[in-house]
Amino acid sequence: MLENKKRDQHYVFQAYLKNWVNTNGKLWCMRDGKVFDVKTSNIAFEKDFYRVNSLSNKDIEFIKLFFYKSSDAFKKEMDYFLKLYTTIDRDEKIFELIFKLCTKDISEISETIDDINKMIDIARNNIMEEVYCDFEGEACDWLKNLCKEDIDFLYTSSKEEKEKFISFVCSQYFRTKRMKEHMMYVLKEAENFFVNKEFPQGSIKAENLYQPMLWLLSAKCSDKILNAHITLIINKTDVPFITSDQPVINLKADYKDFSNQPDELVFYYPISPRVAVKINDDLCVKKIELTNSSDIYEYNDLINRAAYKTIFSKDKSVISKYIA
């Protein structure tokens, strides 16, 4: 029996958004100047968002050129990822060769061919979705602890636990619709910039490259801040934290002008209406309590500014203030 093809793919995972859900099972959203409530299953998703397209030799060559200044350790990690990522392509080519060499009448094996084509199509849709789902399964325990105002597990557990958490946060930063569109823009510009003897017109395709590029950028980002300090921010005011379809933001970035982005990374990630984390800040404390509502509004303003299209809240009045 063939596996089900996963079409509605969330770029902000539902278990995270449920921290903003009300007693009616919905959270408040603001999009295009309208405020409405909705279930987590019906928001922050897109059809076939994580679909894996084939990578040509030129696509792979471009990826390696893009990251050529990276460390040898990262390049080794990248080669391993690309080998896994292109497994579907290799399997498809093997099946094609087998059928070309097959001596049977093609009508006798047409049903088998159809099944294999369906399996490959399903695998292209599901493979990255399943990678993120596995990551999210582990992350749920981390988020539950943080919601209980417990950050000690990131410092008392193994070093690997903290590193995995930072990798998770980086993945949540890069997996979004905003980042996909930005990467598509960068890659289309690169298509024009790199047109030469090495990369003839049309030899690299943004729609094939954006998915592996975002994953590799997430891994590179994670390597950069692997030993960064993590601070738990506890909201002691009556104003709740909000989140958005870009739930992790870099406090040093300008989300209105992607052409000039800083190298410095300070991540802010609201976990619930009452807690958030900062990574790589200068506080160097495990916990900080905010008692002034103006501080909360400042963080909420940054989340709103960085959002792609939608912001989320448990409290309707808090996001209503952002209606233009």
Q: Residue 113: what pLDDT?
A: 63
**CB contact at 8 A, 236 and 249:** no
Q: Which pLDDT tens digits describe the chain residue by residue (324 residues)?
A: 456 888 889 999 999 999 999 989 999 999 999 999 999 999 999 999 998 888 888 899 999 988 988 888 899 989 988 888 887 766 555 445 444 445 445 555 555 667 777 877 888 888 888 888 888 888 999 999 999 999 998 988 778 889 999 999 999 999 999 999 999 988 888 777 776 767 777 788 888 999 999 999 999 999 989 889 999 999 999 999 999 999 999 999 887 776 667 788 999 999 999 999 999 877 788 999 999 999 999 999 999 999 999 999 999 999 999 986
Q: Residue 103: what pLDDT?
A: 47
CA distance 129 to 123: 10
Find tokens 């300090």 and name the residue.
229
Written as six digits, the tokens of 137 are 């399964």
pTM: 0.89
CA–CA distance from 23 to each of 20, 245, 317 (Å)?
10, 22, 17
CA distance 173 to 179: 8
Q: b or e along 237-249 (b: 16 or more beta carbons within 10 Å of the residue's beta carbon)?
A: bebbbbbbbbbbb
